[in-house]
Amino acid sequence: MAVTVEKVLDETSWDEFITRFPSAGPFHSRAWIRCFKSDHLVPVYLRFVSNGIPVGGVAGLIVEPRMAILKPIDRRLFFFSGPALASMDRISIGECMQVLNRYAVDQQFTSLISLGRDYPYAYDWGNSRVHLQFMHELIIDLSSSQEQVVIRMRKSIREQARKAERSGLTFHPQQDASTLPQLLNLIANTQLRRMNKSGVSFSPYYIHYLDEKSLRRLSESSIARFFVARRGTEVLCSLLVFTFAKRAYALLIGCSNEGYQLRAPAFVWFNVIRLLKGAGIESLNLAGGNAFAKVSLGAEHRTCTGSVSPYLKGPVLNLLFQTSRWADKFIAPA
């Protein structure tokens, strides 16, 4: 079955198109990709076609160099997640990735980067010169009954949620960008608490190209959902989730010291999981991080596959591209 790739010129109908494929998730959505739009990050939407019939699609970014003179040696085609397809078997994904690679060569890109975010599918490239990359994420299966979803949580989570409710905490779903500054303040407290407790630091901008500007755009989009725990009018814990089609991704959570004492995180997670299940979401990705806490919520370890193809040019330009990437580590972004 011959597959070709086509660039979508009218992005306004993208979401309607990509949701035809059950594996579509937040990283395929127009709202997510548009969060990053800038002079150097250009949204791109591609569909895969076989015998005139669309069989899938993928959305990502064209990463242009900050200096035009570097364009021949460092122009990247970047995706946060692999393609959403009608058939998510190893062979179909591998074939589409090879077609995507040929497209990248034809369009004069120096590299093709496809991360494995929320992409728990295996594939390979045959004998192609590609670096496969794997990340481990923790995903809650919400496709079973509400009762089964709750039973998979550890008893301690249910007990903590009840204790928090008895302490006067209330749960509030919100879709309001004004909640973001409060979330960032709570995240700063969580960062300090983790550093004092274990000496481990973390950044809320752990996803490529995510910064405060793109996070603000995300919080204003239709796919962002805030979930907060309050005691009276005071917000003790806040969680940001973005949802698309039947999948959800938990991006950030922060909590105050009082919130930790009152078990606010467990209270928020317990209610969010039940609410998303009731709304028809079938998968909630908790990313990586504290595996014990996330397994307690009923999450399972999943291996997500990504790949990097940096060999799209001749030997000289390939070497210059690799040198450019190495230099990136020592040059602060403008």
- In order of 40, 50, 119, the CA distances from 242 in angstroms are 24, 31, 16
Bridge partners, 239 (sequence order): 227, 253
Separation CA 160–CA 131 (nearest Å): 43
Domain ranges of the chain: 4-136+303-328, 144-281
Please check the confidence at residue 240 and state whether its pLDDT lies above 60.
yes
d(CA 95, CA 91): 6
Q: Where are the alpha helices (DSSP H) in the chain?
A: 14-18, 30-34, 90-106, 146-151, 155-166, 180-198, 212-219, 257-261, 264-278, 291-296, 315-328
- Report the alpha-carbon distance of residue 322 to residue 11 in Å, rounded: 32
Q: Can you name the CATH fold of 144-281?
A: Aminopeptidase (3.40.630)
Is pLDDT above 90 for 292?
Answer: no
Calculate the CA dihedral of residues 76, 248, 303, 94 and round it to 10 degrees. -50
Q: What is the mean pLDDT of residues 264-272?
A: 98
Share of the chain above pLDDT 70, in %: 92
324 Cβ partners below 8 Å, 6+ apart? 65, 70, 73, 74
In sequence order, the β-bridge partners of residue 237 are: 229, 255
- pLDDT tens track for 62-100: 999 887 776 767 889 999 999 999 999 999 999 999 999
pLDDT value for 325:
53
Number of neighbouring beta carbons within 10 Å of residue 155: 9
pLDDT in tens, 301-321: 999 999 988 766 665 555 555
Q: Tell me what pLDDT residue 238 has.
A: 98
pTM, two decimals, is 0.91
pLDDT in tens, 126-148: 777 788 999 999 999 999 999 99
**Three-state DSSP class for 59?**
strand
**Model confidence over 26-54: pLDDT tens digits?**
999 999 999 999 999 999 999 999 999 99
Please calculate the CA angle 183-288-219 and round it to the nearest 5 degrees.
30
Mean pLDDT of the 275-283 span: 97
What per-residue confidence (pLDDT) applies to 182? Answer: 95
* Same fold: 4-136+303-328 with 144-281: yes
CB 221 within 8 A of CB 165: no
pLDDT at 331: 35
CATH number of 4-136+303-328: 1.10.375.10, 3.40.630.30, 3.40.50.970, 3.30.470.20? Answer: 3.40.630.30
φ, ψ of residue 61 to 5 degrees: the values are -135, 140
Which of the four pLDDT bands, split at 50, 70 and 90, describes residue 220? very high
